[in-house]
């Protein structure tokens, strides 16, 4: 499993990005450096993701895959927060310096930069 860290590069309200808005995911990558759907299907344990936002504790979730809709991040409901599903748009090859889009629940897109894979 690889630990992938994404930092907000740009989006509505964040033209210069924000290092305080980030995701940390534990995922399997295939030989080409893409998220590995076969490994996800074969793994009995959910692939964890943490979502960090200023002024809030990290939110725990998991990485999901659907043949028709692709990859997403699911954050189960908590006491005061509803469930959230955030889509990963065209993640392609994951490597430091590359960008991917996260579409949040209200349909707004944010660009995230991959800062590390370990």
pLDDT digits (tens, 9 = 90+) for 70-94: 999 999 988 777 888 999 987 789 9
- Which pLDDT tens digit goes with each residue over 40-59? 999 999 999 999 999 999 99
CB atoms within 10 A of CB 3: 12
**Helix boundaries (H) for the chain:** 37-42
Pairing of strands 109-117, 47-52: unpaired
Asked if residue 42 lies in contact with residue 64, where contact means CB atoms within 8 angstroms, the answer is no
Overall pTM surpassing 0.85 (yes/no): yes
Domain boundaries, the chain: 2-117
Return d(Cα 118, Cα 104) in angstroms, integer.
25
């Amino acid at each position: 499993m690889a630990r992938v860290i994404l930092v907000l590069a740009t989006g509505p309200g964040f033209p210069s990005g924000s290092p305080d808005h980030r995701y940390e995911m534990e995922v399997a990558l295939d030989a080409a450096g893409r998220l590995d759907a076969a490994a996800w299907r074969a793994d009995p344990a959910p692939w964890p993701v943490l979502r960090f936002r200023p002024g809030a504790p990290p939110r725990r979730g998991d990485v999901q895959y659907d043949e028709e809709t692709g990859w997403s991040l699911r954050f189960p409901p908590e006491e005061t927060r509803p469930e959230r599903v955030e889509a990963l748009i065209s993640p392609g090859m994951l490597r430091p310096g590359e960008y991917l889009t996260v579409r949040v629940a209200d349909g707004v897109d944010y660009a995230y930069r991959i800062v590390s894979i370990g």
